[in-house]
Amino acid sequence: MRPLDIEGAWVDRPRVFSDRRGHFHEWFKADVFREVTGHPLRLEQANCSRSSRGTLRGVHYAAVPPGQAKYVTCVSGAVLDVVVDLRTGSPTFGSWEAVRLDDREHRAVYLSEGLGHAFMALEEDSVVVYLCSEGYAPQREFGIHPLDPELAIRWPDGLTPQLSDKDAAAPTLAEAERRGLLPGHEECLAHRRRLRSGVRGDACVSS
């Protein structure tokens, strides 16, 4: 796992073993994850989505604490996966970073609590699976419009974004900040320090 430019996010590129029968790879390793992040992955929910080409999901995030960290990979097709720093006070607040996830290189992205997540399907029937540190709780789930000009995420050319009604109605980053809906950087760092000290350390994926 190597860190992305946005602190609190990593990308993993596993070794893929292939032969005439197919291929095999390890898409999550608890010991490596724990060594890199300083804490085990708390697992409360696992999600799977299938998307048509051009589908754009996000930018989604959850209130911190407890937030919702995600470990994401694409098991079929391809997506452009995007991490957005929504933490007010962060040196990289408002910046984003994109990683192609597909069924060929089998990369995975981990984004810690307080970071926003979005992806666009680049191929038909693209399937994304992700492990979540917390279960879905509507009262603390929020979103930022993925086409917000201030964020200026460079989505692929030649694709018409297909958004859900909820994502299309999401506020811009500036609107969310004015309404006090964004997580604070220091609060997110404090939450991760608690994780490293073993607080909320139950229900974790371990080796």
pLDDT tens-digit map of 83-111: 999 999 999 999 999 999 999 999 999 99
Segment 133-145 shows an average pLDDT of 96
- Nearest to 52, CA basis, from 201, 180, 160, 205: 160
**Active centre residues (catalytic):** 60, 130
Residue 201: pLDDT over 60: no
Spatial separation of the C-alpha atoms in residues 84 and 62, rounded to whole Å = 13
- Looking at residue 198, its pLDDT comes to 84
Spatial separation of the C-alpha atoms in residues 23 and 17, rounded to whole Å = 5
Average pLDDT of every residue of the chain:
94
**Cis peptide bond upstream of 65, omega within 30:** yes
Q: How confident is the model at residue 53 (pLDDT cuts 50, 70, 90)?
A: very high
Q: Residue 192 in contact with residue 39, Cβ under 8 Å? A: yes
Segment 43-59 shows an average pLDDT of 98
Specify the higher pLDDT residue, 203 or 80.
Answer: 80
Q: How confident is the model at residue 183 (pLDDT cuts 50, 70, 90)?
A: very high
Q: Where are the domains of the chain?
A: 2-15+24-194
**Domain topology for 2-15+24-194:** Jelly Rolls (2.60.120)
